[in-house]
Amino acid sequence: MSSELSNKCTKCEGKITLLPCPFCGQAVETRWNAMTGEHYIHHVDWNSSCSQRPFYGNEALWNERPIENALRAQVRQLEHDLHPPCNCPRCTGLPDYYADEAALDAAGE
Q: How confident is the model at residue 102 (pLDDT cuts 50, 70, 90)?
A: low
Half-sphere exposure of 108 (CA within 13 A, CB side): 0
Shared domain check, 1 and 25: yes
Compute the average pLDDT of residues 58-84: 86
Shared domain check, 58 and 19: yes
Shared domain check, 21 and 72: no
**Residue from 51, 48, 54 nearest 8 by CA:** 54
Range of the domain at 75: 66-107
Q: Which residue has the higher pLDDT, 2 or 66?
A: 66
Per-range mean pLDDT, top range of 40-44, 47-51, 67-71: 67-71
Cα–Cα distance, 31 to 13 (Å, whole number): 9
Shared domain check, 102 and 49: no
- Whole-prediction pTM: 0.54
Compute the average pLDDT of residues 79-106: 67
Shared domain check, 51 and 8: yes
Q: Are 41 and 18 in contact (CB under 8 A)?
A: yes
Shared domain check, 94 and 41: no
Q: How confident is the model at residue 3 (pLDDT cuts 50, 70, 90)?
A: very low
How many folded domains does the chain comprise? 2
Shared domain check, 71 and 58: no
Shared domain check, 59 and 70: no
